[in-house]
């Protein structure tokens, strides 16, 4: 009984664990020229995906924690990604039925809006807090890279969902 309970808890931590892991991976030095400046925001993909499919396992507190972790690792102003992830969750959860009922392309298109919106917001916050205009081209490329990689990661999330959270 205890074992199955533990198993259940461990399984239900999957979305959060994946999100944190992706935040770590996104700051690893890849030794690719100029990659650091445009490395995709992997944790945003996870927040988006799990907010659609398992918002019960990705509560506001978890989303806030993931954002704060992203801020701590990547050096953005503390609270910037925390705020943005919260807003992403708020936006997506209310429309999750629409995304679940439609094809993947619709979900990808939704992610485009979310990615553009959230990166624009982080850009504004960072520029405002540092009182300097950050060059938008790097941010644009970062959004582009995040968008293009989304299908791969969505597939991985889907497999993880199948493997660990199938009972639902």
Partner 1 sequence: MFKSRANSVLRLTTPFKVLVQRFTFLALVGTALGLMVVGRADVRFVEQARIAAVDAVAPILDALSRPAATISQTVDRVQGLIALDRENTLLKQQNNRLKRWRNVALQLETENRELQKLLNFVPSSALSFISARVISDSGGAFARSMLINSGSRDGIREGQIAVTGDGLVGRVGGVGQRSSRILLITDINSRIPVVTETSQSRAILAGDNSDRPQLAHLSSVARVSVGERIVTSGHGGAFPPGLPVGQVISVAEGDIRIQPFVDMSRMEYVRAVEFGLDGFLPMARGSGGGEVKP
18, 41, 47, 88: which one binds partner 1 (CB under 8 A): 41
Nearest-angstrom CA–CA distance, 130 and 23: 23
Out of 14, 39, 51, 118, the only residue in the binding site for partner 1 (CB under 8 A) is 39
Pick between residue 73 and residue 147 the one whose CB is nearest to partner 1.
73
31 is a site residue for partner 1 (CB under 8 A)? yes
Rounded CA-CA distance 166/83 in Å is: 31
Binding mask 106-135 for partner 1 (x = CB under 8 A): ----------------xx-xx--xxxxxxx
Exposure class string for 89-125: b at 16+ Cβ within 10 A, else e: bebbeeeeeebeeeeeeebeebbeebbbebbebbbeb
- Find the shortest distance in angstroms from Cβ 67 to partner 1: 7
The answer to whether residue 66 forms part of the interface with partner 1 (CB under 8 A) is no
CA nearest neighbour of 69 among 43, 36, 37, 35: 43
Among 80, 92, 114, 154, binds partner 1 (CB under 8 A): 80
């Amino acid at each position: 009984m205890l074992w199955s309970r533990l198993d259940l808890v461990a399984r239900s931590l999957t979305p959060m664990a994946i999100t944190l892991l992706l935040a770590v991976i996104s700051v690893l030095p890849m030794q690719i020229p100029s990659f650091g400046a445009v490395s995709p925001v992997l944790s945003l993909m996870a927040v988006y995906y799990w907010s659609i499919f398992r918002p019960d396992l990705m509560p506001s507190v978890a989303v806030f924690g993931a954002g704060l972790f992203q801020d701590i690792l990547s050096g953005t102003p503390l609270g910037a990604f925390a705020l943005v992830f919260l807003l992403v969750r708020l936006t997506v959860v209310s429309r999750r039925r629409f995304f679940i009922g439609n094809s993947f392309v619709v979900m990808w298109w939704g992610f485009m809006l979310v990615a553009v919106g959230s990166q624009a917001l982080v850009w504004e916050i960072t520029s405002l807090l540092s009182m300097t205009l950050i060059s938008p081209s790097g941010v644009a490329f970062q959004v582009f890279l995040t968008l293009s990689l989304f299908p791969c990661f969505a597939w991985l999330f889907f497999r993880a969902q199948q493997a660990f959270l199938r009972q639902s």
